[in-house]
Amino acid sequence: MAPPATEPTAATRPAARRALLAGSVGNLIEWYEFGVYGYFATIIAERFFTPEGGSATEGLVKTYASFALAFFFRPLGAAVFGRLGDRLGRRPALILAVTTMTGATTLIGLLPAHATAGALAPWLLTLLRAVQGLSAGGEFGGAVAVMTEFAPPHRRGRYGAWQSFTVALGLLTGAGFAALLATVLTETSLHTWGWRLPFLLTLPLGLTALWLRLRLDETPSFRRRQRADRRPQAPHKEPYQQKPRRNPPGKPPAPPSLPKAIALGAGRIMGWSAAGYTFLVVLPGYLQSTLNATFQQALIATALANLGFAASILPAGALSDRWGRRPVMVAGAVLVTALALPLLDLLQSPGASTLGKGFALVGAGAVVGLLAGPGPAMLAEMFPTIVRYTGLGLAYALANAVFSGSAGLIITELVQHTGDADIPAYYAAATCALSIPALLTLRTADQRRTLHD
C-alpha cells in the first residue's frame, strides 16, 4: 500500500536517519550513566553513604534510595520538557535534555567523597541525581517522538525499537567499561578513584550527542501541527475531551482523557520497567550482596543478560509491525511471569553449570526485550501530536519511577528482612502479570493510524 502523502517518504529518509541517530545517542548516554550507577552501587555506597564504622548493607540501601529519588524526578522532567517539546518543538527540548544530563553526570565524577566532604557528600550526590532524573524524564518522550514521527509507514515498531536497543547498548557500554576497570586496576585504585572514570567519560559522549541534535530537523508531524493551528492550545484540551463523547455507530471509540491515557500507558509498561531493571541493572548488586559473587562475576552476568536483551529488541519491534504490538508484548509479559523464578533458582543453584547459568541470563534479558522492542511505538501511538511528547514521556516516567527506580531499594530491603533470595523473581513476575490485562486492551487500529492527528 502506498504511503499517505502526510507520512515521511523517500525524500525524508536522510532526515529520518539523522533523527534516529540523534535520538539514539542521547538515549544511550542516559542509560549508560544509569547503568554505571547501578554497577558501581556497592562502591558508591562505600564512598558516599557509609561513614567509618557504618553498615555496608545500610549504605547500599541508601545508595538505592538515591537511585530511586532520581526516578521520582522523572515525571516532573517529563512534564516540563514535554510541555516545551509539544509547544516549541522536539529539537530544542532534546538539546536541553542532553546538555543537562551531561553536565550533571560529569559533575558526579568530580564530587568529593564522604571521607573528604563528610555529611555533605551524599547530599551533593543526591542533588545531582535529581538533576539527572529531570533531564532523563525529558529524554525518553522526545527521543521516541522524534524516532516514530520520522518513521516510514508501517515501520514505527522498528524505529521505536532503536530507543530500547540503545538502552541495551548504554547498559552494555557501562558494564563493559566497568569490567575493564575492574580488570586493569587494583581493587584499591578502583575504589579510590577508578570509579570516577565512567562518569567523566560522559562529557565527550554528551558533546557528540549535542552536536548531532543541533543538526536535527524538526519532525514532520510537529511542523504539520504548527501549520494547521498557529494558536497556542492547552495540551489537555485537544483532542482529549474532558468528558468522553458518545460516538456514532461504526466510528472508533473516543480517546480517553489524557490522565487516563497516561495511566493506561504506565500500566502497559510496568512489567517492562520492573523486569528490565531487576535483570539488567539491579542484578550486580544483588549477586554481590546476596549470592556473594565477586564484582567481576556480577558484571559478566549483567553483560550476558544485556546481550540477550539487545539481541531480541529489534526483531521484537519488527515483529510487532507485522503481527501487532499486542501479541508480541503479551508474550513477553507471560514469559517473564512464568520463567522469572526458575531462571533465578538456576542462578542460585551451586550444582548448575556455568554454561547453563549463562543461558539463563541471556534468556532473562531476551524475554524483557519482547516488551521493550514494541513498547516505544506502542506509547507513541497512544497520543496525538499536540501532547505526544508529554503523554508518552509521563507514562514512561511514572512507570519507571514506581517500578524501576524503586526496584533496587525494594529488593534489597525485602531480601534483608525476609532472607528470601527469590524476591527479585517475585517482583519481576508480579509486575508483568499485572501488566497483562492492560496490554490486552491494545488494538491493531492504533498502530495503523498516522501520527499527525
In a domain, 111, yes or no: yes
How far apart, in whole angstroms, are the C-alpha atoms of residue 436 and residue 333? 6
Confidence of residue 389 (pLDDT cuts 50, 70, 90): very high
Distances (CA, A) of 79 to 82, 84, 114, 417: 5, 9, 34, 36
In a domain, 226, yes or no: no
Q: How open is the CA angle 431-268-407, to the nearest 5 degrees?
A: 35
CATH of the domain at 161: 1.20.1250.20
Q: Specify which of 173-187, 288-302, 307-321 reaches the highest per-range mean pLDDT.
A: 307-321
- Per-residue model confidence as pLDDT tens digits over 131-182: 988 998 898 899 999 999 888 878 899 999 999 998 888 878 888 888 888 8
With CA atoms as reference, report the closest residue to 166 among 319, 9, 32: 32
- Per-residue model confidence as pLDDT tens digits over 260-299: 999 999 999 999 999 988 888 777 677 777 777 777 787 7
Yes or no: say if 136 and 74 are a contact pair by the CB < 8 Å rule.
Answer: yes
At 324, list the grid cell. Answer: 501487532
Domain boundaries, position 194:
15-220+256-448
Q: Is the pLDDT of residue 56 over 70?
A: no
With CA atoms as reference, report the closest residue to 171 among 305, 275, 45, 63: 305
How far apart, in whole angstroms, are the C-alpha atoms of residue 420 and residue 153? 48
pLDDT value, residue 11: 34
Q: What backbone phi and psi angles, to 5 degrees, belong to 444?
A: -60, -30
With CA atoms as reference, report the closest residue to 164 among 371, 327, 308, 333: 371
At 48, list the grid cell. Answer: 558516599
In a domain, 430, yes or no: yes
Domain count, the chain: 1
In a domain, 97, yes or no: yes
- Per-residue model confidence as pLDDT tens digits over 205-214: 899 989 999 9
- Per-residue model confidence as pLDDT tens digits over 427-444: 999 999 999 999 999 988
In a domain, 286, yes or no: yes
Q: Residues 363-381: what's their mean pLDDT?
A: 94
In a domain, 247, yes or no: no
Distances (CA, A) of 448 to 154, 175, 320, 325, 371: 7, 38, 12, 11, 19
Torsion angle of the four alpha carbons 319, 323, 325, 331, in this order, in degrees rounded to the nearest 10: -80
In a domain, 390, yes or no: yes
Q: Is the pLDDT of residue 238 over 50?
A: no
Residue type, 347: L
In a domain, 246, yes or no: no
Confidence of residue 53 (pLDDT cuts 50, 70, 90): low
Q: Residues 11-37: what's their mean pLDDT?
A: 79
